[in-house]
Amino acid sequence: MGEDNFYKVNKILSNLIEEIQKYNIFDGNFLSLRKTIENFEINEVFDNMLSFYEIIDESDINMIIDNFDNSEMNVSFRLKSLESLKIKWNKNIGKSKQLREICNDSLAFRIIVDIEKERVLEIIEKVYKYNKGFEVVDFYKDHKSKDDGYRGIHLYFRLNPKSFPVEIQIWNRKDAILNYYTHEIIYKSDNKECYDEYSYKLRKWLDNLPGAPKNIDKEFIDFWYEMFLEVDKRGD
Q: Do residues 153 and 120 make contact, with C-beta atoms less than 8 angstroms apart? A: yes
Question: In this structure, is residue 185 part of a structural domain?
Answer: no
> What pLDDT is stored for residue 71 in this prediction?
58
Question: In this structure, is residue 89 part of a structural domain?
Answer: yes
Residues lower than pLDDT 50 in the chain: 1, 234-236
The CATH number for 137's domain is 3.30.460
Q: How many CA atoms, within 13 angstroms, populate the side-chain half-sphere of residue 214? A: 0
Q: Domain containing 36: what range?
A: 3-172
> What pLDDT is stored for residue 234 in this prediction?
45
Question: In this structure, is residue 148 part of a structural domain?
Answer: yes
Question: In this structure, is residue 187 part of a structural domain?
Answer: no
Please state the domain count of the chain.
1
* Closest to 165 (Cα-Cα) out of 154, 175, 176: 154
pLDDT tens digits for range 59-101? 888 887 877 656 567 888 888 899 989 989 998 999 999 998 8
Question: In this structure, is residue 87 part of a structural domain?
Answer: yes
